[in-house]
A and B are shown apart, each in its own frame.
Chain A
Amino acid sequence: EAQVTQNPRYLITVTGKKLTVTCSQNMNHEYMSWYRQDPGLGLRQIYYSMNVEVTDKGDVPEGYKVSRKEKRNFPLILESPSPNQTSLYFCASSLSLVPRNEQFFGPGTRLTVL
């Protein structure tokens, strides 16, 4: 089954404790991205990747890091989480860079930073 998986689905952590949210897709997609979704602010792109070893900042990259060492994986790293990073996070992938291509979203990771 074609899908995007994220882990963990739920995470409660404390300020400053480094964490990684994993994302994997099995569709051989070139383009992957991370979003956060907050009430009243909608979906905002954090980082995106056009292919292996090619990443770029989205609209709200501060406090986040990403890597793309393999085509299928695109982990999101929070080196020192803060309460304002409490949010619902989505990983998405699509066949290519052109935004009109369908984006396939993961099920989301709900992160709470205390």
Chain B
Amino acid sequence: TQLLEQSPQFLSIQEGENLTVYCNSSSVFSSLQWYRQEPGEGPVLLVTVVTGGEVKKLKRLTFQFGDARKDSSLHITAAQPGDTGLYLCAGQHAGNNRKLIWGLGTSLAVNP
């Protein structure tokens, strides 16, 4: 059972477009992280959100944690080719502080 569903699975857009990717669950998470993985490399942390309704911004990236802490979104404004990569969400399940649950990822391609 995949506890964190990411959508879309694949996304191919033109440079300058905006996009949103989603990370959804029926379970409550005490924290949620977003990572970006580029080809041939390991994932790199972008942000951690811990409070329901929290919004964090990282340059052109905006991250939101749902009020009920069951979902999260990542919005990219004016995407650039350097944003290309696999975006992974990972959550710490409420009640289990030993385990990080991973989504399958959204593969983003930004074409020049």
A contact set with B: CB distance below 8 Å:
4, 40-45, 90, 92, 97-100, 102-103, 105-108
Quick one: which of B42, B88, B98, B102 has the most chain A CB within 10 A?
Answer: B42
Pick from B31, B41, B42, B104: contact of A99, CB under 8 Å: B31
Chain B window 6-38, contacts with chain A (Cβ cutoff 8 Å), 1 for yes, 0 for no: 000000000000000000000000110100000
Nearest-CB distance from B69 to chain A (Å)? 12
- A100 contacts B92, CB within 8 Å? yes
Contact A97:B97 (CB < 8 A) given known A42-B102, A42-B103: yes
Interface string of B89-112 (1 = CB under 8 A from A): 010100001111011110000000
A99 proximity list for chain B (CB < 8 A): 31, 90, 92, 97-100
B-to-A contact residues, CB < 8 Å: 30-31, 33, 40-45, 48, 50, 88, 90, 92, 97-100, 102-105
In the bound complex, how far is the Cα of B91 from the Cα of A43, in angstroms?
13
* Inter-subunit contact B104/A42 (CB<8 Å): yes
CB nearest neighbor in B for A50: B98
| Chain A residue at smallest Cβ distance from B101 | A99
Establish whether residues A108 and B41, one from each chain, have CB atoms under 8 Å apart when the complex forms.
Answer: yes
What B residues does A92 contact at CB under 8 A?
42
Q: Which 10 A-B pairs rank lowest in CB-CB distance, beginning with the nearest?
A: A105-B42, A100-B31, A99-B100, A99-B92, A42-B104, A102-B45, A43-B102, A90-B42, A105-B43, A100-B92
Give the Cβ gap from B30 to chain A, nearest Cβ, in Å: 7
Q: Which of B50, B102, B105 contacts A100 (CB 8 A)?
A: B50
